[in-house]
């Protein structure tokens, strides 16, 4: 659902917020909840190291935090059970958004059934076009709009600039025109080491795969451990050769609202 015009920020206001919160992660989250979006701010989590650190911060500033995950049905061991532990520890309800075959989105289910019937369940191994254009990550991106962003004005993510690709230029607060929604990236200027230090210092539960050479974790069939010296995202869609295409469809707004 688009953010109402009355809640939208002017260009200068957005620039001011970005300057103000470039180095103030807690302040950014407080502002988002207490002054700007209230319950309309929600964290989108896939329970990676950045996500669990960010949730720890979010929960500290807002015990009514909204936490949403997009279940692709291809996740590894339920995110290493971290989602369950986090929910048990905090009591925060987790909104698990996923497409239920034949029920909550019949049109999408029909598209997927045809896709799998014609090309197989693991068609993404054929290359980036197959996973982006043939409705694997692309379809999940549409699910984001339909199931995760409904009733949300600003989604909070754990993206970091040093992950590269389009992420290299992200702002702390961004307006996503195709989704008519705000995206807040409080960790934009953090390094992986800083995130890891935060998790250790605050004893935040995390997915143990991160200790086994998985700096980045996605769906099980599309993620492997990296070798020494490899790029941290080399384990994602490892069969693809373009290092600049290691992106999940959720953050490619060009794929938004396809179904
Ligand atoms: S990570 Fe792999 S299985 Fe998961 S949505 Fe993307 S292409 Fe599909």
Check pLDDT > 60 for residue 84. Answer: yes
CB of 246 shorter than 6 A to ligand 1: no
Residue nearest to atom 6 of ligand 1 (CA): 137
* Between 72 and 153, the higher pLDDT residue: 153
Contact 23, 188 (CB under 8 A): no
Tally of domains in the chain: 1
Q: Say which DSSP state 34 is in.
A: I
102 phi/psi in degrees, rounded to 5: 75, 5
In the predicted model, is pLDDT for residue 255 greater than 70? no
CATH number (domain holding residue 103):
3.40.50.620
Q: What is the DSSP secondary structure assignment for residue 134, as one 8-state letter?
A: T
Confidence (pLDDT) at 141: 66
Query: What is the CA 215 to chain-centroid distance, rounded?
Result: 15
What is the mean pLDDT of the segment spanning 30-43? 93
Q: How far is the CA of 201 from the centre of ligand 1 (A)?
A: 32
> 57: Cβ–Cβ under 8 A, 6 or more apart, which residues?
25, 26, 29, 186
What confidence score (pLDDT) does residue 161 get?
A: 95
Question: Does pLDDT of 259 surpass 50?
Answer: no
Residue 249 or residue 247, greater confidence:
247
CA–CA distance, 93 with 87 (Å, rounded to integer): 7
- CB count, 10 Å around CB of 110? 12
1-36 tens-digit pLDDT? 678 777 788 999 999 999 999 989 999 999 999 999
Provide the domain limits for residue 90: 5-255
Q: Looking only at Cα atoms, what is the longest distance across the chain?
A: 51
Closest ligand 1 atom number to CA of residue 222? 2
Alpha helices in 22-74 (DSSP H): 25-30, 49-61
Main-chain dihedrals φ then ψ at residue 81, nearest 5 degrees: 70, 5
**Residue range 97-108, pLDDT digits in tens:** 777 666 666 777
The question of whether 248 is a catalytic residue gets the answer yes
Q: Give, to the nearest 10 degrees, the angle between helix 82-90 and helix 49-61.
A: 10
Mutate to test the pocket of ligand 1, among 127, 128, 219 (most ligand atoms within 8 A of CB): 219
Mean pLDDT (the chain) is 85
**Contact between 164 and 14 (Cβ < 8 Å):** no
Cα angle value 152/102/84 (rounded, 5°): 50
Q: Is the CB of 221 under 6 A from ligand 1?
A: yes
């Amino acid at each position: 659902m688009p953010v109402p015009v009355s809640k939208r920020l002017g260009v200068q206001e957005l620039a001011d917020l970005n300057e103000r919160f470039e180095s103030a992660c807690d302040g950014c989250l407080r502002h988002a909840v207490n002054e700007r979006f209230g319950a309309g701010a929600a964290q989108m989590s896939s329970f990676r190291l950045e996500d669990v650190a960010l949730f720890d911060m979010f929960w500290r500033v807002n015990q009514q935090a909204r936490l949403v995950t997009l279940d692709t049905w291809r996740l590894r061991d339920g995110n290493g059970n971290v989602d369950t532990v986090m929910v048990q520890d905090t009591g925060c309800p987790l909104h698990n958004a996923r497409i239920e075959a034949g029920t909550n989105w019949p049109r999408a289910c029909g598209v997927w059934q045809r896709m799998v019937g014609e090309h197989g369940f693991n068609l993404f191994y054929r290359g980036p076009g197959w996973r982006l254009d043939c409705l694997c990550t692309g379809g999940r991106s549409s699910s984001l709009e339909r199931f995760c962003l409904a009733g949300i004005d600003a989604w909070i993510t754990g993206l970091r600039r040093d992950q590269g690709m389009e992420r290299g230029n992200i702002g702390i607060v961004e307006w996503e025109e195709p989704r008519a929604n705000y995206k807040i990236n409080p960790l934009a200027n953090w390094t992986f080491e800083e995130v890891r230090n935060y998790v250790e210092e605050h004893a935040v539960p995390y997915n143990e795969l991160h200790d086994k050479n998985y700096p980045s974790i996605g769906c099980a069939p599309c993620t492997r451990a990296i070798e020494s010296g490899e790029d941290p995202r080399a384990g994602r869609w490892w069969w693809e050769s373009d290092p600049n295409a290691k992106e999940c469809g959720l953050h490619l707004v060009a794929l938004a609202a396809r179904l």
